[in-house]
Chains A and B, each alone.
Chain A
Amino acid sequence: QKEVEQNSGPLSVPEGAIASLNCTYSDRGSQSFFWYRQYSGKSPELIMSIYSNGDKEDGRFTAQLNKASQYVSLLIRDSQPSDSATYLCAVNPFNAGGTSYGKLTFGQGTILTVHP
């Protein structure tokens, strides 16, 4: 079983719509969660971090975390063609003793296409 799972997509949405990207993780001890955006031929760029259950908003981006369901999502409001990229979900797993492994586990990424 993959530790971090994302729908590979591609997810296609019209300009101005809300894009919803989803991620599930297997390690119940995970404490912090991240979304990275990666344009084709570029490196991953951190766009959101979330540590607590609930929603965190930053401009057009909202990250949602539900630790009980082991689920984290990213909503992009008013999607623009410039949002077209691969979005990577990353999780910071902790061991049974509550100590971080110190590294991130990445999902395979969801390709988002926003068409005019």
Chain B
Amino acid sequence: DAGVIQSPRHEVTEMGQEVTLRCKPISGHDYLFWYRQTMMRGLELLIYFNNNVPIDDSGMPEDRFSAKMPNASFSTLKIQPSEPRDSAVYFCASRTRGAYEQYFGPGTRLTVT
């Protein structure tokens, strides 16, 4: 079975540009999570969805960040406008209802210059 799929794997952009990260969860998983990882702050939960509905977005750093899940097999995380401090690795993870184990995608390494 395919795991969590993320694209792109690497993104380099200039400050002020819009960035869109994409995620396809494992088929049949009801929950989808977006994380950001940096050396300084570790792994931070940004937002998570249950059945395509955002449940907790308290980790979204500011209004420049937005996330959507239009259907069960696709989610996006958008940063507009991007800033150098947004440089990090962004992970998407998913899990099934009733089990708390989360499975991570390969991540997107974002560099904002």
Q: Enumerate chain A interface residues (CB-CB to B < 8 A).
A: 32, 34, 36, 42-46, 49, 88, 90, 92, 100-109
Q: Determine the distance from Cα of A106 to Cα of B41 in the docked complex, in whole angstroms.
A: 11
Decide if the interface of chain B is mainly helix, strand, loop or mixed: strand
A72 vs chain B, min Cβ distance (A): 14
Q: Determine the distance from Cα of A49 to Cα of B48 in the docked complex, in whole angstroms.
A: 21
Residues of chain B within 8 A of A44, CB atoms compared = 43, 91, 104
Interface set, chain B 96-113, CB cutoff 8 A to A: 100-107
The reply to whether A102 and B104 form a contact with Cβ atoms under 8 Å apart is no
Q: Enumerate chain B interface residues (CB-CB to A < 8 A).
A: 31, 33, 42-43, 45, 48, 50, 55-56, 91, 100-107
Decide if the interface of chain A is mainly helix, strand, loop or mixed: strand
The reply to whether B105 and A102 form a contact with Cβ atoms under 8 Å apart is no
B56 vs chain A, min Cβ distance (A): 7
